[in-house]
Structure 1
Amino acid sequence: MNNLKGTIKNISVDQQITLVDIQVGNLDMLAIVIDTPEHASYLKLGRKVKVIFKETEVIIAHNPISEISLQNKIPGKILRMEENALLTKIELDTNLGPLSSIITTRSAHHLNLQPGQSVVALVKTNEVMLSV
């Protein structure tokens, strides 16, 4: 599980869904919360939160990325790769701290990923969880 620290900087609500802008280090990240500030007391501007997402939800791409709907883009460098028959675990060094990704070994080979290579970690907004 990836776990970063951030601060809520904007909250947008539509019906029972909240889009939360979080400042994480020098990057802005987004999370979708199926709740509202009226029922989730941690949804407050300036609130310190943990930004959590699974390794299996981290997509790896080469940089630069042209147009894409994914908004959580974290640049980093591959530190280590643990390759198995089906899955490869990739450990990244980023300005936000260490991150892990688990992708198929087939994808790792297709992208020709290697330690030392610069990449971008991508995380969909609906895969980001917030905790206090």
Structure 2
Amino acid sequence: MNIFSGHISHIQVSGSLSLIAIAINENVTLKTIVVETPETVGYLKKGNAIRILFKETEVMIAKNEISFQTSIQNILGGTIYSIEKGIIVSKVSIETSIGAVVSVISTEALESLILKLHQKVVVMIKSNEIMIAE
């Protein structure tokens, strides 16, 4: 599980859904969509400290810069520092501006992307795949 700490910087509410922006550091803000609102959960308040969590299997990797538009809002650049190649899945560890992010991808994808140590990549996490905790 990837776990990071930050502070809630913005909340947008529509019905029972909230789009939460979490500032991880001064340069990186990640977004998540939750089925809660500030009225239903006390910790959803601007400025509150919060942890975000997302599974390694929910982290996508792309080579180089993304030259196409995408609906994914959480995009970080990084450098691969570890690859554990398995028969079916492989674990790729990437150093980013918020720290180490781990991705588990199919070994077939690892090989087709020709990923290797010290390579610069882009990490993407869909906002609905990020969980929050106090």
TM-score using structure 1 length = 0.97
What CA distance in whole angstroms lies between the structure 1 residues aligned with 2:120 and 2:43?
35
Stretches of 4+ aligned residues off by more than 6 angstroms: none
Q: Runs of 5+ in structure 2 lacking a partner?
A: none
**Aligned-residue offset at 1:63:** 2.3
Provide the rounded CA distance (Å) in 2 between the counterparts of 1:20 and 1:51. Answer: 11
Task: Indicate which of 92, 100, 121 corresponds to 1:98.
Answer: 100
After superposing the two structures, state which structure 1 stretch, 106-115 or 21-30, moved more: 21-30
In structure 1, how many angstroms separate the alpha carbons of the residues matched to 2:20 and 2:6? 11
Are residues 1:64 and 2:72 paired? no
Calculate the aligned-residue CA RMSD, in Å. Answer: 0.7
* 2:37 match: 36
Residue 89 of structure 1: CA displacement?
A: 0.2
The C-alpha deviation readout for 1:106-130, integer Å capped at 9, x for no partner, is 0011111001001111000000011
When normalised by structure 2's length, the TM-score is 0.96
Report Cα offsets for 1:41-78 as digits up to 9, x if no partner.
11000011111100000000112112111010011100
Aligned residues between the structures: 132
Matches within 5 A, 1:48-127: 48-65=49-66, 66-127=68-129
Opposite residue 105 of structure 1, the aligned amino acid is T
Q: CA deviation at 1:27?
A: 0.9
